Structure 1
């Protein structure tokens, strides 16, 4: 039986608001994570440094885990895979913009701004390829670990949610660092110290931030959906 336009509209209207909002935010974070990654920030009061894209990436972890918690593992994996689409479109648009000639006004009046833009965004191909590879493996791993730790349907209390979120995020973030740094920089310089520092920093952030972010994320999605409890 062929699905009518009316049927499609009814299905679209019945999509939970929490799922709709989080899907929009997820797509934005896939793009923003790559932009923020160009700056390294210090994790006070330690000397550990981490690329700032981790903050957007942690939101990707929280959103994918929240979707798995409330709407199912299958849908969470689908969101992760489709997260490639805004990532791909943004990368293609960036290449288009980089290859288009700058306006004469910018070349003559703001040459420093033009040079800074091109220097930041004209990354080498290894870095460009490493990001999506690390993204898909680590996010799918996060959803898988989070869902496996859930066990029975009754294991859904706040403490369980916080612990599962932290463990899944810490492990997936460690794998993300290993994949990205190895693919992007192996052979160019010794990566041992950078790799250890990134893993420690991301695991620490996962343990400190994710339990509270995922608890708030689940509560917010339930509020948007009009759920109780």
Structure 2
């Protein structure tokens, strides 16, 4: 009986589309990287508006989740979003473990500045790690829902895919910005410029870049599936 179950499991794994497999790996990596990059705010030249750098990884999460919804269904895309909490949780636990372990004698004696910088940055990431999952869950589930609802019963072509991707991304990313910036940075400094910059940047990038990224993402996944 156990052999039969094992064989079924292996067959199911082998039947997994290659595109879905690759995008699932990328998705897990981007969930962790978005939280790490979010610590730095970058200026939106030539204005004084700022945006947290995690936006770049987060836009890829939007593209991947929309691509999965387009090719493999809304239900699976939502499941990927929920499972994205696993690498976030493991990363946060590992970070706490590393922060609480004593540094090596060599690092304390000869690289004290590096140790202080590491601990100063990562010890204050707890608000980012707390804010990230809240904004992540709400915005990405909203993105998948809007993207799928706009699709309706018709398959649509490339233009439809691009328009749906832009609208879903712009709306969900605006919500994400309000949740994340408020929870992560409110009280630490004046978040007005960061919040405005974040919303404008995510909406602008959603309208300009996401349509083309989703189109390319869908085409790449189809190519991977065909080559399997």
In structure 2, the CA distance between the partners of 1:170 and 1:180, relative to structure 1 (3 Å rule), is same
Alignment of 1:224 with 2:224, yes or no, is yes
Matching residue of 1:160:
160
**Equivalences for residues 38-187 of structure 1 within 5 A:** 38-123=39-124, 125-155=126-156, 157-187=157-187
Taking structure 2 as the reference length, the TM-score comes to 0.93
Provide the rounded CA distance (Å) in 1 between the counterparts of 2:18 and 2:216.
Answer: 16
Shift of 1:49: 2.1
Q: Which secondary structure state, in structure 2, belongs to the residue aligned with residue 50 of structure 1?
A: strand
Q: Which secondary structure state, in structure 1, belongs to the residue aligned with residue 223 of structure 2?
A: helix
**Contact (CA 8 Å) 2:31, 2:58: kept in 1 or not?**
yes
Q: Which secondary structure state, in structure 1, belongs to the residue aligned with residue 209 of structure 2?
A: helix
Shift of 1:154: 2.7
User: What CA RMSD, in Å, does the superposition of the two structures yield over aligned residues?
Assistant: 1.7
Provide the rounded CA distance (Å) in 1 between the counterparts of 2:161 and 2:148.
Answer: 10
Unaligned runs of 5+ in 1: none
Provide the rounded CA distance (Å) in 2 between the counterparts of 1:56 and 1:190.
Answer: 24
Counting matched residue pairs gives 226
Q: Deviations over 1:4-51 (max 9, x none)?
A: 111110111000000000000000000111111122223344443211
**Contact (CA 8 Å) 1:48, 1:201: kept in 2 or not?**
no
Provide the rounded CA distance (Å) in 2 between the counterparts of 1:6 and 1:128.
Answer: 39
Alignment of 1:14 with 2:40, yes or no, is no
Taking structure 1 as the reference length, the TM-score comes to 0.93
